[in-house]
Amino acid sequence: MFEIPVESLETPALTKAQLADMLFEQIGLNKRESKDMIDAFFEVISQRLIAGEDVKLAGFGNFQIRIKAPRPGRNPRTGELIPIAARRVVTFHASQKLKDQIQGDVDDSAGADELVEYNLLPPEA
């Protein structure tokens, strides 16, 4: 289980660099291996989405490609009509397990310690 004190986060977002640092500190990979592993993970996900495939991460959620139809738009400054072309977008749907964990954090937040945990390892068999 990865543990990061909330106050140590420089930004409210978790970054790839922070993930690589966690692999370095808590698993013992060297910094280069950690960075390469994180980059490879996101590259695989990106390539699958570019190819039009859905990406399903058990216990986390699903990334899906959706095609948005063309539609009329409007320039908010001038009011001029501008056509918006059809495009592909990525959507994310959290798994029920993740939703339940997030909801549990809200219910228990009054007495919770200021600690964020990330489990990046598969369950041990």
Residue 74 domain-assigned (yes or no): yes
Q: What is the pTM of this model?
A: 0.66
How many domains would you assign to the chain?
1
Residue 123 domain-assigned (yes or no): no
**What is the full per-residue pLDDT of the chain (125 aa) written as tens digits?**
555 555 555 568 889 999 999 999 988 889 999 999 999 999 999 999 999 999 999 999 999 999 999 999 999 999 999 999 999 999 999 999 999 999 986 554 444 444 445 555 445 54
Task: DSSP for the chain, please give it.
Answer: -EEEEGGG-SSSSPPHHHHHHHHHHHT---HHHHHHHHHHHHHHHHHHHHTT--EEETTTEEEEEEEEPPEEEE-TTT--EEEE--EEEEEEEE-HHHHHHHHHHHHTTTS--SEEEE--SPPP-
Domain that holds residue 78: 2-118
Residue 124 domain-assigned (yes or no): no
Residue 100 domain-assigned (yes or no): yes
Residue 6's CATH number: 4.10.520.10
Residue 125 domain-assigned (yes or no): no
